A and B are shown apart, each in its own frame.
Chain A
Amino acid sequence: MAIVLEKVVQGFYDRLEEGKICGRKCPKCGAVEFPPVYACNSCGNYETEWYEISGKAKMHSIVMPAALSSKPEYKALGKYAYGEIELEEGARFNAVVRGISKKTRKDLLDKLPLDVHAAIYQRDGYKTVVFDLDKKYIEN
């Protein structure tokens, strides 16, 4: 491999249009970068390769949106919260998780970390990634 001047950002969003959620995997240590970037932040390797994630993840914290921390366009998300996400592949980052309300938060806090799964979400002009609470919590 060599260091390549590559449109990683556009590649990420193009793949979402194709229904694929991708990060970049380090060929040296196996760590997955999500969202995708050039180099590995775990071992420092210069290169990473496209890798489709499974979408399975854990949610480790719950913060509810409020007046300061929401925008009118977020209403289309339905009930949601913010939190720390850990992908099955190991990457950790902040994301939106749908299916959590102020009412259900209390019970869910006792069950942290929660099983969640990635979904492709249409915003104005492009697709992005959000997460959904696994069905087992909603059915209960």
Chain B
Amino acid sequence: MNQTNLNKYSRSVSIIGVGCTPFMYTVDNPETDGLTEGELFGYAALKAMEDAGVNPQDIDFYFHGEASPLNGSNYLTPNIQIANWFGMKGKASIHHSEACCTGYYAIEQAVNAVASGKYNCVLSGCVEFGDSLAVPNHPYKREKMTMEKFLQTTAWLYDRNYTRSLMAGQELIYDDAAEWYKRTRGLTDEQMDDTINWMSINNRKNASKDELAIERRTYEEIARDAGFDNVMDYMRSPYNPKNGDYLRMSGIELKCDGAAAVIVCATDMVDKYMGNKSHKPIEVLGCGCAACEATTPHFEVAATEEAVRQVYEVTGVKPEELDLFYANDFIITSHLVSAEIAGYLPYGEGWKYICEGRTAYDGDKPINTNGGRTSFGHAHAASGLADLYEAVKQMRGECGERQVKKLPKTTMLRGYGGAQNICTYIIRTVD
């Protein structure tokens, strides 16, 4: 596979502010039904500005991410359509979409813009209504997105010329990583099934302590209410059906609505921008990216290996220096395979760490402390920045009940999506 060797940034860039909405089914709740793109993005952006201590006029440029603006919002150029909501009227912006990886490329874009020297302070935000569609010709009403409509639109992710015709690439997204892991690590079917179930349980345990998460009821509680004494008996039961070759219902994203944002600036200008804010900035050390279109065998594995190689090479960071790990796990197996490829979990042993609960927020190798896509929720473009929001809060020690045991100094985040982009970056608290 083709490879890219990265250069170091021309100047250091740090995260100084983050904001995030709750992840929601907006149309299901009268209090949130009627919320708009500008309101969600604007809230996240202003919260990030408040967190950073900056005025909107201090920010030079903004990036806007939305996975499917035409389908979900009846928007082309969605960056322009929400431009006046957060005090930056007249400032330049650009929209980007890498589907479920959008929120990860959001940080890559912002950092590049500052590292190049063109801008000193940049906002990057993402918004998505993953659970509802704009009603055409109405200013704010939305309707629930049916699964049929959702699947119609996800088909657009795949190459029309060959991939859809060959019938395999788009179907392998659900189980290819599980098959690869099971075969290459020598697991039995039962061990793979248990590992997938434990990832769901651990994700939900994390989300149960996060007020922004969409689903906070633990699987232990759900199992008990269904009459099961043992949570694994529930997870292996028809209550949690297998709808993939390996994948069960609990391992699939909860598509929903939400927004998140981040402010980055040149590290040597932090004092100018942050004023009297006391939290430490968090430097973006590097970002590795790769993409494997869905006809590529083991596309997630191949692209993750390349992106991880790049980011370790350019940053000089070693896997043993990572304190915390996030993976965009809309197919839950992602968080196992990417954590092992990154060396955060040891080769061939990651599944044991997961089954022993060591990857939950209170374990020694925490992953997706916000609950990931199966419990925090998946507002497609916004999910990557929601993960960054959580990582930053953990690194500042601001996560309360779900705060990990050891204050993390170095974190890796691995984005994935859009059949399939991979964007992997390492962030570290500035001393």
A interface list, Cβ under 8 A from B: 9, 12, 35, 41, 60-70, 74, 82-85, 92-96, 109, 123, 126, 128-130
Contact = CB atoms under 8 A, between A and B. Distances in A.
A128 B165 contact: yes
A94 B168 CA distance: 6
B189 to A, nearest CB: 9
Contacts of A95: 166-168
Contacts of A69: 171-172, 174-175, 244-245
B340 to A, nearest CB: 18
Interface stretch (B29-37, B61-69, B176-184, B277-285): B176-184
Contacts of A9: 161-162
Interface size class of B (residues with CB under 8 A): 20 to 34
A117 to B, nearest CB: 16
A9 B174 CA distance: 27
24 contacts: A35-B162, A35-B166, A35-B295, A61-B176, A61-B179, A61-B297, A62-B179, A63-B172, A63-B175, A64-B245, A65-B171, A66-B242, A69-B171, A74-B167, A82-B176, A85-B297, A93-B295, A94-B166, A94-B176, A94-B295, A94-B296, A95-B168, A128-B166, A129-B166
Contact of B165 (A66, A109, A126): A126
A67 B252 CA distance: 13
Contact of B171 (A35, A70, A128, A130): A70
A82 B168 contact: yes
B243 interface: yes
B294 interface: yes
Nearest to B252: A68
Contacts of A41: 2
Interface in B156-211: 161-162, 165-169, 171-172, 174-176, 179-180, 183
A35 B161 CA distance: 9
Nearest to B165: A128
> What secondary structure prevails in chain B residues at the interface with A?
loop
A123 B298 CA distance: 25
Interface in B225-274: 241-245, 247, 252
Nearest to A42: B2
A84 B168 CA distance: 9
Contacts of B241: 67
A82 B172 contact: yes
A11 to B, nearest CB: 11
Contact of B243 (A68, A123, A129): A68
A94 B2 contact: no
A63 B245 contact: yes
Nearest to A129: B166
A97 B221 CA distance: 42
Nearest to B247: A68
Residue from A35, A65, A69, A74 having most chain B Cβ neighbours under 10 A: A69
B166 A96 contact: yes
Given A69-B171, A69-B172, A60 B297 contact: yes
The 6 closest A-B pairs by CB, nearest first: A84-B297, A69-B171, A94-B168, A35-B162, A67-B243, A93-B295
Contacts of A61: 176, 179-180, 183, 297-298
A68 B297 contact: no
Contacts of B244: 66-69
Given A94-B296, A95-B168, A123-B165, 14 more contacts: A61-B179, A61-B180, A61-B298, A64-B245, A66-B245, A66-B247, A69-B171, A69-B174, A82-B168, A94-B169, A94-B172, A94-B295, A94-B297, A128-B167
A96 B165 contact: no
Contacts of A109: 183
B179 A63 contact: yes
Nearest to A74: B167
A93 B295 CA distance: 5
A85 to B, nearest CB: 8
B245 A65 contact: yes
A94 B242 CA distance: 23
A34 to B, nearest CB: 9
A82 B168 CA distance: 6
A65 B165 CA distance: 16
A138 B298 CA distance: 27
A131 to B, nearest CB: 10
A12 B244 CA distance: 32
A83 B245 CA distance: 13
A63 B244 CA distance: 9
Contacts of B162: 9, 12, 35
Residue from B165, B167, B244 having most chain A Cβ neighbours under 10 A: B167
Contacts of A126: 165
Contacts of A130: 166-167
Contacts of A68: 174, 243-244, 247, 252
Residue from A60, A74, A93, A94 having most chain B Cβ neighbours under 10 A: A94
Residue from B2, B174, B241, B245 having most chain A Cβ neighbours under 10 A: B245
A41 B166 CA distance: 20
A135 to B, nearest CB: 22
A123 B174 CA distance: 23
Contacts of B180: 61
